[in-house]
Amino acid sequence: MSISEFFSKLMFGKPEYNKKLRMTAYQAHKVNLIRIWNNEKHHDIGFEKVLRLFLVAVQYVFPGLHIRNYFGKFGVIKRNVGNEFFVFFKTFLPLYFLFSGLYKYKVVVLISGYLLLETIFYVASLIFVADMFVKPRSYRRNILMLFLNYLEIAFSFAVIYAGMHLLGDNLPSVVDYIYFSIVTSTTIGFGDIHPSGNLGKMFVCIQAIMVVAFMVLFLNFFGSKMETLNHEEE
């Protein structure tokens, strides 16, 4: 077995599983918008309907949808793997920004915030627009992606704290920003490091509220899915 065959087998499995998609990601998104607008699956009204339309439509301004559309040309498995690599990239890019010192540039902070917003909106769409998504290939795979999304949120906030000097100017290492963000993400809050100024406090509040909503709503959502899956396996 050659190296290319080894990695192909490792990442893509059996070739027959890589089925062609009936619609591109753009076409599927358009269909989902029309379905929500026409109340084809749920009779949602008012702010709920506005939120559902927004969560689907806003993905056009982020790279994830365009990456799925591109890799979808090569089949469903390659689209999923391409999306996984993008999630890995987004998760560890903030760490590169921190340890390389690039977090000092405002454009880098904006990039981190931009990619962070994509993750926030995508997670929210999995909760509030769950009926628009096809049944996942593996719920365990989605839980892995969930964990990476959780890490990305923590690392991205660390970049924001460092780049905007929201924890003061006396922290000796970028590890302190990561430490503070993870402690905040776990809702522990030791208090040895604290935000500086009202803007810092606002960002900490935003992260804390976001993480609590992430943990309670999203983990509960997947917990019910895993329970259903276990019943089906039995």
Element (DSSP H or E) covering residue 79: helix 76-100
Predicted local distance difference test score (pLDDT) of residue 133: 66
Distance CA 179, CA 27 (A): 42
Q: Quick: pLDDT tens for 207-227.
A: 888 888 777 766 666 666 555
- Three-state DSSP at 168 gives strand
Q: For residue 74, give both structure tokens.
A: 């090569």
- Three-state DSSP at 92 gives helix
Predicted local distance difference test score (pLDDT) of residue 141: 76
Distance CA 54, CA 123 (A): 13
- Three-state DSSP at 166 gives strand
pTM confidence score: 0.86
Predicted local distance difference test score (pLDDT) of residue 233: 42
Distance CA 15, CA 32 (A): 29
Predicted local distance difference test score (pLDDT) of residue 123: 80
Residue given tokens 């906030």 in the structure block: 157
List, for the chain, all residue ranges whose pLDDT scores fall below the cut of 50: 229-234
- Three-state DSSP at 2 gives coil
Q: For residue 33, give both structure tokens.
A: 């918008």
Other C-beta atoms lying within 10 Å of the C-beta of residue 102: 17
